[in-house]
Amino acid sequence: MTAGTNYFDLIIFFLVTLITEVLGTVGGFGSSVFFVPAAQFFFSMQVVLAVTGLLHVFSNISKLVLFGKSINWRIVLGLGISSTLMCIAGAYLTTIVELRYAKVGLGVFLVALSTFLLLLPSFSLKPGIGIQIGGGGVAGFLAGFIGTGGAIRGLVLASFNLEKNVFVGTSAAIDLGVDVSRTAVYLDNGYLSLESVMIYLPVLLAASFLGSYIGKKLLDRIPAAMFRKIMLSLILVMGAALIVGEVA
């Protein structure tokens, strides 16, 4: 889509963004693991990275409002610093590496991770500061380079056996620093024009807050394990579609 996008395109984009935000809130992975593959059908990879960054800034602010009382700030510091630093490195790497390879890399990453978690649903990591720093760094780098690292961060957070509201709130607090830093890099390198920002800003803002609210309501009512299997299956399909689309 471009600056000449019509209202029908914006409505479709809003609905896709809303759905990914709901799924990301319920699953605790963050919306980017769903939004980045879906957005490939609307934008080039550079624009996808910039739009994803903006969406996540709004999304995480909304989650801080909804889940703010449940945040574990000790874990935020443990994961957040390494995540933010490595995210900046990953974001700058997109300026020198052909983004076609980033798209294929994203597809392989999504297929491998979703398959692994579906086959080993009980897999977890032992909690500790080393896991926090290392896992946070990997998640941050992937977020900056391919647009999504929430699944890795979710795996690390799962090792702490956090209550679901603490899980979502803590993840959002970590992610906010990551997304502000990478979005600044993307915009500074011209990945998204000012005109496009003004077009998509209201859509992203509305979808992020509404999606987070709906996701929180669902999180209170529906077993997370059921959603986890469905979402991992969707991630697997999206990853496969990205790979086929680039190599075909």
Domain that holds residue 158: 7-247
248 residues of the chain, pLDDT tens digit each: 554 557 788 888 899 999 988 887 777 667 777 787 788 778 888 888 888 888 888 888 888 888 888 898 988 888 889 999 998 998 888 888 776 677 677 778 878 888 888 888 777 667 678 888 888 898 889 888 877 777 778 777 777 777 778 888 888 888 888 889 888 988 888 888 878 778 888 888 899 889 888 988 887 787 767 766 776 787 787 778 778 766 66
In a domain, 21, yes or no: yes
Please tell me the predicted confidence (pLDDT) of residue 210.
92
In a domain, 41, yes or no: yes
In a domain, 1, yes or no: no
Please tell me the predicted confidence (pLDDT) of residue 126.
72
Paired tokens of 85: 């630093």
In a domain, 208, yes or no: yes
Could you give the 3-state DSSP secondary structure of residue 130? Answer: helix
In a domain, 96, yes or no: yes
CA pair distance 106, 179, nearest whole angstrom? 18
CB 120 within 8 A of CB 129: no
CB 50 within 8 A of CB 188: no
- Residues in the chain, how many? 248
Number of domains in the chain: 1
In a domain, 2, yes or no: no
> First CA to last CA across the chain, in angstroms?
23
Paired tokens of 49: 């990275």
CA pair distance 109, 121, nearest whole angstrom? 17
In a domain, 164, yes or no: yes
In a domain, 236, yes or no: yes
User: What is the DSSP secondary-structure string of 219-248?
Assistant: HTTS-HHHHHHHHHHHHHHHHHHHHHHHH-
Please tell me the predicted confidence (pLDDT) of residue 5.
56
Please tell me the predicted confidence (pLDDT) of residue 246.
67
